[in-house]
Amino acid sequence: MNRSIISLLAAGLFAGMASASIAQNVTAGDKSAEQPGSMTKDQKEMTNPPKSDSTAMNKSKHDKGDAAFAKADKDNDGALDKAEAKAMPRVSRNFDAIDTDKDGTVSLEEVHTYMKARHNAAQK
């Protein structure tokens, strides 16, 4: 007898939750109830949760890289020669690949282009 009461209570609880969910979606001003396939803002957020702060984190890394570049640029000419690049190990290791115009220096733009290409290649 106790099991059947518990089963009924559980079934009633689930039915109540389903009814509440349906009632929430079908309101007088809810256009999603009128248009099949459309979702409310809440439904979209549940389906596609907001992105984490990966953009902010990438911005932070980008800013740190820019600051490291500026610090390594001892003569403040906007470019790193091979000696200056030693302060940035990843740039130093890949200096020749980053130096696309082959002028013996790497600009911040060249570093950004190289890092973006590496990031995109890693994403594939």
Domain boundaries, the chain: 2-47, 54-123
Q: Which long-range contacts (CB under 8 A, 24 or more apart) does 21-27 make?
A: none
Indicate the Cα dihedral angle 67, 72, 77, 80, nearest 10°: -110
Fold of 54-123: Recoverin; domain 1 (1.10.238)
Does pTM top 0.75 for this prediction?
Answer: no
Question: What are the φ and ψ backbone dihedral angles of 52, each rounded to 5 degrees?
Answer: -65, 180
User: What pLDDT, in 10s, does the model give residues 57-98?
Assistant: 778 888 999 999 999 999 999 999 999 999 999 999 999 999
Q: What is the pLDDT of residues 19-29, one digit of tens each?
A: 555 555 554 44
> Which burial class, exposed, middle or buried, applies to 87 when counting CB atoms under 10 A from its CB (0-12, 13-18, 19+)?
middle
